[in-house]
Amino acid sequence: MASQADYRDRQFLAVIGDEDSVTGLLLAGIGHVTAPPDNQKNFLVVDAKTDTASIEAAFERFTTERKDIGIVLINQHIADRIRNRVDTYTQAFPTILEIPSKDHPYDPEKDSVLRRVRRLFGE
Amino acid sequence: MSGAGDREAVFPTRQSLGIMKAKLKGAETGHSLLKRKSEALTKRFRDITRRIDEAKRKMGRVMQIASLSLAEVTYAVGGNIGYQIQESAKSARFRIRAKQENVSGVLLPAFESYLTEGNNDFAMTGLGKGGQQVQRCRETYARAVEALVELASLQTAFVILDEVIKVVNRRVNAIEHVIIPRTENTIKYINSELDELDREEFYRLKKVANKKQRDTAAADAEMKKRKEESEEKGEENVAPEAEDSAGPTDLLAAAEDEDVIF
């Protein structure tokens, strides 16, 4: 279980998504770039050319390294590319949330949390 | 049987029997309390899973509307604004804050979104044209993100509750299937050992009593026999008998006592 102090200072959201999703979410005002020395962005734009390793690296950075992120939003079709990592991720913080993208409609069957919900209800 | 089941290594004494009984009582109380906790958490858990299911579906719709409004922006601005927006994002306007909620001793975090005042990274976006669409799109996406934050807190609660319920159930089962039978076994063992000791003690006393009885009976028989013998002798010749019996009984008749020296 997460300790109490762990989520006190988690105040940002992070996005891994295609260009449209990231643009929209940035317009909502979730974008944040840390202070100049490292200039870490809390979003990653993934297109067809981005390789899986860099997605994994970003996922790793958002979930384990950075301590100021409370929610990681990830497009479902991108989550599919690192499905193993997403499925084996069991921590409560930060929360991984799979979101639909413009070109890929949302499929509840693939969502790792919804699958757990379904399994619990014995469907 | 006493030695059959799994039991704790204790000496079968009355004191440890008392301790074991207290322990059994404690275990039963704990079991019922934990069971109730588990039920309360499961109820909450089912509620949350149902809400997650709903929220996920709602999220699908909201995101669809949001991406439609983004398409409108792209059309109105007349080009892709993605690059510009990614470059101008500096400081988060939309942030989250974690609160805690207590459900039967489990702290569930809940995210709450808030807008920081004063920083607007996208003041220049859509300045040329399509400003209105950009504004609308921002509002739509802000609403979408709010829904996402709500969903995220549900999901966090789901993950934590899942974990806690597993732990509680494991404890309930451990008490029900290991600790209680074991303590009961120990109590049974101590009881049977104590009974055994009691029986042994009783048997020993009986033996002692028997032995005493037998000894007395033997002594009685001896005396009786001697008496009879002496009576028979007495009939034959009374005089020696009288001399014999008179000797020790008549203390005063004894000539002199020897001096007692301490």
How many A-B residue pairs are in contact by the CB < 8 A criterion? 159
Q: How many CA atoms lie within 13 A of A88 on its CB side?
A: 7
SS3 B206: helix
Record the pTM: 0.70
| Distance set, CA B52 to CA A101, A123, B59, B132 (Å) | 19, 16, 10, 34
Sequence-distant (6+) residues with CB within 8 A of B119 are B90, B91, B93
Tens-binned pLDDT, residue by residue, of chain B (262 aa): 445 578 888 888 889 999 999 999 999 999 999 999 999 988 988 888 888 888 888 888 888 888 888 888 888 877 777 777 777 777 777 888 888 878 777 888 788 888 777 666 666 666 667 777 888 888 888 888 888 888 888 888 888 888 888 899 999 999 999 999 999 999 999 999 999 999 999 999 999 999 999 999 999 999 999 999 888 887 766 555 455 555 555 656 656 667 777 7
SS3 B53: helix
**B70, closest residue in chain A (CA to CA):** A24
CA-CA-CA-CA dihedral for B129, B134, B136, B138, to nearest 10: -170
- Which residues face A16 on adjacent strands? A44, A74
Distance from the Cα of A34 to chain B's closest Cα (Å) equals: 8
**A93, closest residue in chain B (CA to CA):** B156
Cβ within 8 Å, pair A10-B98: yes
Distance from the Cα of B86 to chain A's closest Cα (Å) equals: 7
How far is the C-alpha of B109 from the C-alpha of A94, rounded, in Å? 11
The residue ranges of DSSP E strands in B63-195, in sequence order, are 94-103, 106-115
Minimal CA–CA distance to A97: which of A30, A19, A17, A34?
A17
Distance from the Cα of A10 to chain B's closest Cα (Å) equals: 7
